[in-house]
Homo-oligomer: A and B are copies of this chain.
Amino acid sequence: MTGTPSSAPLRVALLGCGVVGSSVARLLTEHGDDFAARVGRPLEVVGIAVRRPGRDRSASGVDPDLFTTDAAGLVTRADIVVEVIGGIEPARGLILSAMAHGASVVTANKALLAEDGPTLYAAAQEHEVDLYYEAAVAGAIPLLRPLRESLAGDDVRKVIGIVNGTTNYVLDKMDTTGAGFDDAVAQAQALGYAEADPTADVEGFDAAAKAAILASLAFHTRVSGEHVHREGISDVTAADVAAAREMDCVVKLLAICEKVDGEDGAPGVSVRVHPAMIPRSHPLAGVREAFNAVFVDADAAGQLMFYGKGAGGDPTASAILGDVVAVARHRVGGGRGPGESTYADLPILTMGQALTRYHLSLDVHDRPGVLAQVATAFADHGVSIETVRQQTEDGPGERGASLVVVTHTATDAALSATVDALAALPVVRSVRSVMRVEGE
């Protein structure tokens, strides 16, 4: 690393001092000598912007004199600004001001990046500073740097991630204990894995923001949160999980970013978040509790997987501090990290254009010709059936049968239309469960 004449400390400003922020502050202080050696200059925390300065933070071990409510002033006197406030404002305004004042920015703010990343990238470019955000997706797992840099010479075809620990915890409990959705959420809340209002997690908003970030990096295309088809897990029932189990599958909430050839043969990008069955033999199936993992399929590299903790103070701080060292090294040795790369500018496909597979469980009347009618409904929509299993069920009232169908790959529009057509068939008493299937 090229040294600069100056050995003055690089000034680090911290915006936010919650669970993550206090980990960042503590680790920066405790390992000060390591940071100085790794960067080539010491890092000095010059201030920590908080909303409530009077709150007792003595447990964090942070010098209380560092706390300030003047975030706007703080960002003007730093070389590196770490933003861990979250949300759109005031985070965006503070980041833009920091960059305008010449600071490089490290942020964990997935919501802001998914909503308005290009504005931040443009500001970083204009002011010739760095914008790093490894912690925004999958916490401690080094993932964005591999996508932005390690795989920069490859052609990424698909990214499938378990990127939300709360929903993975809930689905894992449903799988291992047979619990229903509400009970599993209550367990997750009791253990601190889910918020009192779990909407952002269970309805897939958090995962959708991360999917947008992953797709942007993987496909060199601008993808924002509004491009992401989003379905949460609140409609996943114990019956769905049991149906998956019978198929030797497990239900996971997946963030899926895929490059596919559209109907005109030109490539497009499908970005979606939804629950799906994956085979228990798939590497992602073994991701338990609140862990995260991301599976990447690239043309030359083949299949890769990255696994680790997706949240928590210290794990998230690890990712943030790796970025802090990177941008600090650039301050010392020159250069900048890669900026936004959108040259491919691929069209974003609708959910209807996405290629998926369905698992359907139907209650049907047990009469001759039922299977023929059901099979015809699939054929009418150009959907091929991979497996079908019929079972007679004795219950109260008329004798019925259950029919479990797994399709081959088709457009989601064709599959969805097939389900509508099946539901309208007089021989179909009810569509018990519909779920997409991922993984070979």
Contacts and interface: CB of A to CB of B under 8 A. Distances in A.
Contacts of A35: 153
Given A37-B343, A152-B325, A333-B336, A309 B318 contact: no
Contact of A153 (B152, B155, B322): B322
Contact of A343 (B38, B154, B305): B38
A366 B149 CA distance: 62
A306 B303 CA distance: 11
A318 B145 contact: no
Contact of A140 (B31, B301, B317, B344): B301
A329 interface: yes
B326 A149 contact: yes
Contacts of A59: none
Contact of A321 (B145, B154, B304): B154
A387 interface: no
Interface in A295-311: 298-309
A317 B335 CA distance: 26
A314 interface: yes
Contacts of A318: 151, 153-154, 298, 300-301
Given A155-B34, A330-B335, A27 B304 contact: no
Contacts of A152: 38, 321-322, 325-326
A336 B1 contact: yes
A34 B341 CA distance: 11
A153 B325 contact: yes
Interface string A243-256: 00000000000000
A18 interface: no
A177 interface: no
A104 to B, nearest CB: 13
A298 B321 CA distance: 13
A1 to B, nearest CB: 5
Interface string A114-154: 00000000000000100000100000111001100111111
A42 interface: no
A61 interface: no
A163 interface: no
A23 to B, nearest CB: 7
A339 to B, nearest CB: 5
A202 B145 CA distance: 33
Contacts of A309: 301-304
A213 interface: no
A153 B325 CA distance: 6
Interface string A147-167: 001111111000000000000
A299 B27 CA distance: 10
A142 B1 contact: no
Interface of A: 1-2, 23, 27, 31, 34-35, 37-38, 128, 134, 140-142, 145-146, 149-155, 220, 283, 286, 298-309, 312, 314-315, 317-326, 329-330, 333-336, 338-339, 341, 343-344
